[in-house]
Structures are given as C-alpha cells and as structure tokens.
C-alpha cells in the first residue's frame, strides 16, 4: 500500500448536507484505512484523502454508489492535492461558509429507528415529539440558510444535553451531526392550549385526542405549518370545520395510522400502498369504496377520490399511539386503526398557511377549539404535497413538503433564470446550472398575504441558491400580481423581462422535465390564459420549438357571458352553448333558479360583455351546467372534478358518432354539446362527454399534425384520470407516445418551470 500513496481532494455536490454524508465518508475512510478529513461547505462536501491509490479510487467510487438514503449525489470530482493536514486518522472538520452551491435537504417522515425509540417505554425518547436523526426529520422547514448547521436551524436556541451531545459527536452514532438532535430533557416542549390561548393541564397528546373524540377542532403544528384537525368519522365535526373555515365543498385530506387502516375507505391498486409510505409522505388521491361517503360523511362530497395521508411527524404518530392506548414497541404501527383525522392546511380565507404560535392563536381564533403546539419554530412555510398514481407513475397535483427544494434536472446548463408563475396555484422557479428549483405551492395570488408570500419565496430561493438571475420570465397577463412583481423586480435590477404565453409555458414545463428539445406537438387543455392575440385561450394545439411556438389549432370558441364570472358559474357556460345552438330561448326557463338568467340571455343575444374563449376548462363547465351537475362552483375546477367522478362511476361507453367537426385546425364540439343538452342522465352524459372528447382530441391531433409520433399533454385538464386513461389508450394503439407531466404538476402549479425553460432557451438562442 505504501508503494503508491496518493493525496486527493474530492468534491461531492447534490443534496449531501444534513443527510449523514460526513459520517458515511468517515466510516468509508476508516474501512479502507485512509487518512484525511471531510467537511461541509457551501458547495457541498469536500474531502481530502490520503492512502493507497487503489483504496482512494474505491472510496471515490463508493461515494455515489453507497450514499446514505436521504442523499442525492449529483457529481463527484477528484483531483490530485498537496496534503493540507498530516493527521494519521480520518477526521470530520468544521463547516466552511461562503457562496452556496449546495441545497438543503427536504423534510422526511420520522424513520423506523426513531419510531422504535419513541415507543420503547425504557428509552429516553419515549413519546418524544421531536425525535429525529440524520436519516429523518425536518430540514427545509427549519433551516434559514446553507450550509446546513444547527446555528442556521430553529434548534439554535436549544442547547443539547450531555447525552445528546455525545450522540452528536460520535461518528458511529445515527445522530452524529444530526443538526436537529434533541431529547425530552433538552429539546422543544409540547403544549396544549384552549381557544383563548390558556395552557391546559392535561398531557398535551392525551388531551388533544380527547378533544378530537368529543368532536372538537384542534389546530396541530406540523412541519411546514399548522393543520386543522377533526374526527373524520364525525359528520357534525366535519360540517363545523367547513362552516368555520368557510370551505363549502372542497375535499379534505384524511390522515390514517397506516395503509391497512385505509382499506375500508379506498381501493388500492398495485403500488399505491407503497406510495402512501414514501418517506416524503404526500397525500395520495385514492379511489373511494362505495361505503366511504357514509363512513366519512362530508369529507370529499361528490368525488370519486379520497385524499389519504399517513402520519409523518413524531407528533402525528403520538396521536395515533395515544388512540391505540399507548402500546409499547412498534407492532401496533402495522395494525389497522379506527382513528381517522381530517388534516387540512390551516390557511383561513385562502391566505398562506399559519406557521407561528401567536399567529395561530390570532388567525385561527374562532376556528380552532384548541391548539396542540410547541416551541420549535417553523422557518419555511410548506404545504403538504398532493399526488396520485396514474398508469405512468406518480403525478403531482400540488408539489410541496418532501419535494421542495428538490431540483428538476434539465438536459443542459445555462445562466440562472427567475420565473414567477401565473395566478392560480402559484409557484416560482429559479434555475442554477442544469437544475430547476420549483418552489413549494404558494397559492392563488388574490390577496395581499399570498402576494407577500410569493415575494418572500422568490427572495428565499435566490438566497438559498445564491444566484442572481439573468432574466425574469412571467405570464403575458399584465394584471397578475406575478407579472407586476416581475416588472418591478427586473426594473430594479436592470434585468431583461420575458413574457411567456400561458399554454406555451404549460407545454414547456413538460418538455423541461422530460428533457425534450426540438419541435414538438403539444396539446394544452386548461382553464383560461391570455393568448398572444390578447384573447382568452385554453384549448390549444401547439407546435413548441425552443423559445417559439406556433398555434396549430384551437377549440371552437364559446362566449363567456359576464366575462370572469362565467369562469365560476357553469350555468352561464351552459347558457352560452344553448345560445350557440340557436336555443337561446331555453335559457331563462332552464336556469330559472339563477336571478341573472334573463340578463345572461340578453348579453348573449346582443354580444355584450361576452368575450370568446377557446378554453377546454369552460367546456367542462358548460357540460356540468347542461347536465345539471353544478350551477355555481364553490372552488376552482369543481365542475370538472364532479364530471370526472360521474364518468368514472358510469364506466365505459362508446363515443358519440359524428360528435365533433374539424375545420381549418379548429375542433368544434358543438354536435356533442347538442346531444348533452338533451341528455337526462348526468352519469351517462358525463361518460359520453369523456369518451367522445377522447376520440375527438385524437382525431384532431391526427388531422392537424399527421404522422406525429410524440404528443405532449399539458394543462389542468390533464389531471382528469378518465380523459388521460382514454387518451393514453387511444394514442398507444396507434403508436403515438403521450408525454405527461410527472414531477411538475400539469396545472398552473407547474407553469413557472415552463416559463423558466422558455427563458433559458431564449438566452441560449442569443
């Protein structure tokens, strides 16, 4: 070995901090008999290693291959070096700060080893709500900056006791450099407060369970914000929560002890139980069983899907443990349990998620009957992620906790760009090198608080990534808060601005995550987004090529009587269809329960305040209105979701013969809409609509882009499972590949990635 001794300096980049990477390197070096040191710095992990050339090579190789479970290694580079230290052994040295090129890890559910300690009555962490180690626990939500060290986390103010210190210092320990390490003696404390903020004397966990069982609403501090919880089996409690939260029909997510506890409510396909237990713990939409609505009344009314999430914080596990009467050991974790909790984000009035303790008492006053909280601060607000499984794998509806701040790998490296997203379900995106960082879900930019959170998130992402953008990309809509913010930001920093058409951005987001370059045909089926001609687009067939696109075709426009109001009131879209069918005289009678019915009829006749739109989303609304499924929506996308659920229940049906026309690239669904206007069964109508739409879209693509073998599907309508399944089968049968959004939500939550992609292509083309 002494024959050929070398000294190398090695750099590892990626998610390599706060994930037990240094102790892993330490153990590896010891095993291979190497000397040197390892440290964190702002670029990732730096290693200096000395020893036999063969052993050093083996270490370099194993750095990526055997990395700890939470690490994501992007690159390992090694170069010859002059020894900086001459120690014999291998040591872990202090972190070095500076310009950041690494990233904080994402939050992860408490691991099996930690659970075993929490449920061992003889362990010092018995029932400890803050148990974590290098393999699990909070990261992004408790960290202010990089490198990831305790002083930059919300554990900064808690001094570790001797035993915790010893764990933290011992490289063999699972808690070696676990920056959030603590125990009941030295860590944060749990407490239970009443509605007025007075401390209740009970054991906080036992007290909270008792209140939940009594039908009370308890605000519970989570990782990225508070949840509002109640007993999901208690119809009165669920209705009370809806009333107090002023959330009429929107589905709630239910938290259950484990996958087997979900069996009475939902059907799970292959792989779905495994998705529920992912360490990132997204809420997963699963297909309801017939008895679900009776067992969980009012939780997800009218929908074929139920959102299910398993516990991920130690505190959430403690609630289920308490309900199971505090069993010892981990055996109970697999057993089905009755406790079902509604766990909805505490974001009253559509404002951002509540994160602070006093903020909770104030903003949730009148909503929560009690507060289960603690004194470990939430630094970064981050909502739960929501996903579903499709035949192609996991698909995001909302990307948040567990997936932020994970990078989406791009096929090339470029200058940094900032993309500010659209209006609904806003997210922002910043790129660095060949990585695109999509922010957590921010919300709809319709109130000052969410707009503030939007600006905060831009600042935080730029700071964490330590980049200065070369360009700012935004939506074409001049009145979006995001657009106005982009304009101001770019002016202040003298940066170029780039407006990206909404549906172009939708398509580009899918191209970006799949790394597809070159001209591609894309179908963008969405709500309304402003077009390059100033019109209200939303059902577009595009050819996207780099920073450019061409509009190959669009859906035959329908009038929006009353403008924006028509986007919330499906009966208006139904009236618009009747007018177009020459049956305008039916409007007043059919929609007699709507006070504006005759005014809308007049608007349509006179062409007043009725701008045209080619939006696919508005056609879903029109159908829901024609079939009498929903007249006025209580949340965005409700009509389409109900329609999908009905079609799902009805099952297969043949498409309507001659249900559509294609003229000069335009897809006209009027024949189908005419049939639906006289359809008496909402279920049959919903199924017929979906089946015919699938056939029509397929025909449309083949007519407008004949011979095309790859088609990108993007926009909010691509969350519709019945539509997706139909298109996938139909395209597949002809050898056409449908490329779908996976890591990026297909709805407006993914638009920022597309804007960033277009901006990058724009810069590269210069």
| Subset of 97-126 contacting Zn ion (CB under 5 A) | 111, 114
Interatomic CA distance for residues 379 and 229, integer angstroms: 22
CB of 667 to Zn ion, least distance (A): 53
Interatomic CA distance for residues 166 and 161, integer angstroms: 9
| Nearer CB in complex with Zn ion: 6/186 | 186
User: Quick check: 515 and 491 in contact, CB under 8 A?
Assistant: no
CA angle 173, 175, 178 (to 5 degrees): 145
Coil vs helix vs strand at 288: strand
The token pair that represents 519 in the structure block: 């001209």
Tracing tokens 């050339």 back to the chain, one arrives at 53
User: Quick check: 434 and 419 in contact, CB under 8 A?
Assistant: no
User: Quick check: 334 and 324 in contact, CB under 8 A?
Assistant: no
| Nearer CB in complex with Zn ion: 111/555 | 111
The token pair that represents 216 in the structure block: 């009370």
CB of 67 to Zn ion, least distance (A): 17
| Nearer CB in complex with Zn ion: 159/605 | 159
| Subset of 428-457 contacting Zn ion (CB under 5 A) | none
| Nearer CB in complex with Zn ion: 329/607 | 329
| Nearer CB in complex with Zn ion: 64/161 | 161
Q: Which stretch binds Zn ion (CB under 5 A): 127-135, 345-353, 467-475, 576-584?
A: 127-135
| Subset of 354-373 contacting Zn ion (CB under 5 A) | none
Q: Which stretch binds Zn ion (CB under 5 A): 59-67, 153-161, 652-660, 674-682?
A: 153-161
| Nearer CB in complex with Zn ion: 20/400 | 20
Q: Which stretch binds Zn ion (CB under 5 A): 159-167, 204-212, 350-358, 586-594?
A: 159-167
Those residues whose C-beta lies under 8 Å from the C-beta of residue 57, and which sit 6 or more positions away, are none
Secondary structure percentages of the chain, helix, strand, coil, to 5: 35, 25, 40
Contacts with Zn ion, 652-691, as mask; x by CB under 5 A: ----------------------------------------
| Subset of 23-42 contacting Zn ion (CB under 5 A) | none
Residue 652: other Cβ atoms inside 10 A: 8
CA angle 474, 479, 483 (to 5 degrees): 20
Tracing tokens 């210092």 back to the chain, one arrives at 169
Q: What is the DSSP letter of 477?
A: -
| Nearer CB in complex with Zn ion: 138/433 | 138
CB of 167 to Zn ion, least distance (A): 8
CB of 183 to Zn ion, least distance (A): 3
| Nearer CB in complex with Zn ion: 135/524 | 135
Q: Which stretch binds Zn ion (CB under 5 A): 131-139, 315-323, 332-340, 507-515?
A: 131-139
| Nearer CB in complex with Zn ion: 178/622 | 178
Interatomic CA distance for residues 725 and 168, integer angstroms: 50
| Nearer CB in complex with Zn ion: 19/389 | 19
CA-to-CA dists, residue 483 to 31, 95, 335, 622, 715, angstroms? 55, 39, 51, 30, 20
Query: According to CB under 5 A, which one of 133, 355, 422, 498 is a site residue for Zn ion?
Result: 133
Q: Which stretch binds Zn ion (CB under 5 A): 161-169, 252-260, 514-522, 603-611?
A: 161-169
Query: According to CB under 5 A, which one of 60, 91, 186, 588 is a site residue for Zn ion?
Result: 186
Query: According to CB under 5 A, which one of 29, 63, 164, 253 is a site residue for Zn ion?
Result: 164
Is 722 a binding residue for Zn ion by CB under 5 A? The answer is no
Those residues whose C-beta lies under 8 Å from the C-beta of residue 751, and which sit 6 or more positions away, are 421, 422, 427, 475, 502, 505, 506, 509
DSSP per residue, 671-684:
HHHHHHHT---HHH
CB of 114 to Zn ion, least distance (A): 3
| Nearer CB in complex with Zn ion: 246/277 | 277
CB of 117 to Zn ion, least distance (A): 8
CB of 165 to Zn ion, least distance (A): 8
Is 161 a binding residue for Zn ion by CB under 5 A? The answer is yes
- How would you class 436 by CB atoms within 10 Å of its CB: exposed for 0-12, middle for 13-18, buried for 19 or more? buried
Query: According to CB under 5 A, which one of 70, 136, 241, 722 is a site residue for Zn ion?
Result: 136
| Nearer CB in complex with Zn ion: 136/558 | 136
Closest CA to 95 of 29, 166, 18, 27: 18
CB of 262 to Zn ion, least distance (A): 24
Interatomic CA distance for residues 655 and 676, integer angstroms: 12
Closest CA to 625 of 564, 660, 673, 687: 673
Residue 174: other Cβ atoms inside 10 A: 18
Question: How many residues form the binding site for Zn ion (CB under 5 A)?
Answer: 10
| Nearer CB in complex with Zn ion: 143/613 | 143
Q: Which stretch binds Zn ion (CB under 5 A): 175-183, 302-310, 335-343, 578-586?
A: 175-183
| Nearer CB in complex with Zn ion: 17/610 | 17
Coil vs helix vs strand at 640: helix
Q: Which stretch binds Zn ion (CB under 5 A): 180-188, 229-237, 412-420, 498-506?
A: 180-188
| Nearer CB in complex with Zn ion: 186/516 | 186
Q: Which stretch binds Zn ion (CB under 5 A): 182-190, 214-222, 598-606, 713-721?
A: 182-190
Q: What is the DSSP letter of 303?
A: -
φ/ψ region of 36 (left if φ > 0, alpha if ψ in -120 to 50, else beta) reads left
Nearest 10 degrees: Cα torsion 516, 518, 524, 530 = 120
CB of 5 to Zn ion, least distance (A): 38
Query: According to CB under 5 A, which one of 109, 183, 669, 756 is a site residue for Zn ion?
Result: 183
Those residues whose C-beta lies under 8 Å from the C-beta of residue 14, and which sit 6 or more positions away, are 44, 71, 72, 73, 74, 75, 102, 103
| Nearer CB in complex with Zn ion: 168/635 | 168
Q: Which stretch binds Zn ion (CB under 5 A): 156-164, 351-359, 487-495, 520-528?
A: 156-164
CB of 314 to Zn ion, least distance (A): 9
CB of 27 to Zn ion, least distance (A): 17
Nearest 10 degrees: Cα torsion 31, 32, 36, 38 = -60
Q: What is the DSSP letter of 715?
A: S
Q: Which stretch binds Zn ion (CB under 5 A): 184-192, 359-367, 536-544, 601-609?
A: 184-192
Is 353 a binding residue for Zn ion by CB under 5 A? The answer is no
In 405-535, where do the E strands start and end?
407-414, 417-419, 429-438, 471-475, 497-500, 520-530
Binding site for Zn ion (CB under 5 A): 111, 114, 133, 135-136, 161, 164, 183, 185-186
């Amino acid at each position: 070995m002494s024959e050929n001794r070398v000294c190398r300096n090695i750099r590892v980049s990626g998610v390599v901090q706060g994930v037990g990477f240094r102790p892993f390197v330490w153990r590896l070096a010891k095993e291979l008999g190497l000397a040197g040191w390892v440290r964190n710095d702002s670029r990732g992990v730096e290693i200096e290693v000395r020893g036999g050339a063969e052993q050093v090579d083996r270490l370099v190789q194993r750095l990526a291959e055997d990395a700890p479970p939470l690490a994501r290694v992007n690159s390992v580079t090694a170069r010859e070096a002059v020894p900086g230290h001459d120690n014999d052994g291998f040591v872990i040295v202090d972190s070095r700060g500076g310009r950041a090129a690494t990233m904080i890890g994402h939050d992860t559910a408490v691991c099996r080893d930690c659970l075993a300690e929490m449920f061992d009555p003889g362990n010092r962490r018995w029932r400890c709500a803050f148990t974590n180690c290098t393999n699990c626990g909070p990261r992004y939500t408790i960290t202010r900056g990089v490198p990831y060290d305790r002083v930059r986390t919300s554990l900064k103010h808690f001094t570790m006791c001797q035993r915790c210190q010893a764990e933290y210092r011992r490289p063999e320990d699972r808690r070696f450099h676990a920056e959030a390490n603590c125990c009941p003696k030295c860590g944060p404390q749990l407490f239970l407060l009443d509605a007025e903020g007075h401390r209740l004397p009970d054991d906080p966990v036992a007290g909270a369970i008792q209140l939940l069982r009594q039908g009370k609403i308890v605000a519970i501090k989570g990782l990225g914000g508070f949840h509002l919880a109640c007993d999901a089996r208690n119809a009165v409690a669920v209705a009370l929560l809806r009333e107090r939260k002023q959330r009429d029909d929107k589905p709630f997510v239910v938290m259950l002890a484990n996958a087997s506890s979900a069996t009475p409510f939902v059907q799970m396909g292959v792989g779905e139980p495994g998705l529920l237990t992912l360490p990132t713990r997204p809420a997963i939409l699963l297909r309801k069983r017939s008895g679900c609505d009776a067992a969980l009344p009012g939780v997800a009314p009218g929908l074929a899907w139920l959102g299910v999430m398993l516990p991920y914080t130690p505190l959430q596990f403690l609630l289920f443990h308490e309900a199971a009467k505090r069993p010892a050991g981990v055996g109970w974790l697999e057993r089905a349990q009755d406790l079902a909790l509604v766990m909805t984000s505490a974001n009253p009035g559509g404002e951002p998620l509540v994160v602070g303790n006093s903020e909770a008492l104030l903003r949730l006053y009148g909503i929560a009957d009690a507060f289960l909280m603690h004194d470990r601060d939430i630094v970064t607000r981050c909502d739960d992620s929501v996903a579903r499984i499709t035949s192609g794998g996991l698909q995001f509806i909302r990307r948040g906790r567990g997936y932020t701040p994970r990078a989406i790998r791009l096929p090339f490296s470029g200058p940094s760009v900032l993309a500010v997203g659209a209006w609904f379900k806003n997210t922002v995106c910043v790129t660095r090198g060949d990585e695109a960082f999509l922010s957590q879900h921010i919300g709809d930019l319709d109130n000052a608080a969410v707009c503030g959170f939007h600006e905060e998130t831009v600042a935080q992402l730029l700071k964490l990534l330590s980049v200065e953008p070369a360009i700012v990309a935004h939506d074409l809509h001049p009145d979006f808060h995001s657009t106005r913010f982009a304009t101001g930001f770019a002016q202040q920093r003298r940066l170029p601005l780039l407006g990206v058409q909404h549906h172009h951005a939708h398509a580009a987001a899918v191209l970006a995550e799949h790394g597809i370059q070159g001209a591609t045909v894309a179908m963008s089926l969405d709500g309304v987004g402003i077009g390059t001609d100033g019109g209200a687009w939303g059902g577009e067939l595009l050819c996207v090529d780099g920073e450019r696109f061409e509009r190959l075709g669009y859906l035959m426009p329908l009038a929006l009587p009353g403008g924006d109001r028509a986007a919330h009131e499906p009966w208006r879209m139904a009236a618009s269809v009747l007018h177009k069918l020459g049956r305008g005289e039916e409007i007043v009678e059919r929609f007699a329960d709507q006070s504006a019915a005759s005014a809308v009829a007049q608007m349509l006749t006179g062409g007043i305040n009725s701008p045209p739109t080619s939006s696919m989303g508005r056609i879903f609304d029109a159908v829901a209105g024609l079939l009498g499924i929903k007249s006025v929506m209580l949340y965005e996308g409700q009509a389409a979701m109900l329609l999908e659920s009905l079609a799902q229940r009805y099952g297969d049906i043949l498409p309507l013969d001659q249900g559509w026309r294609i003229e000069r690239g335009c897809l006209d669904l009027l024949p189908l809409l005419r049939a639906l206007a006289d359809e008496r069964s909402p279920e049959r109508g919903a199924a017929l609509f979906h089946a015919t739409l699938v056939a029509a879209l397929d025909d449309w693509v083949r007519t407008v882009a004949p011979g095309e073998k790859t088609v990108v599907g993007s926009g909010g309508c691509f969350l519709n499972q019945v539509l997706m399944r139909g298109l996938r089968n139909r395209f597949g049968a002809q050898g056409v590949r449908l490329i779908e959004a996976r890591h990026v939500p297909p709805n407006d939550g993914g638009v920022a990635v597309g804007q960033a992609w277009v901006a990058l292509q724009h810069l590269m083309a210069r």
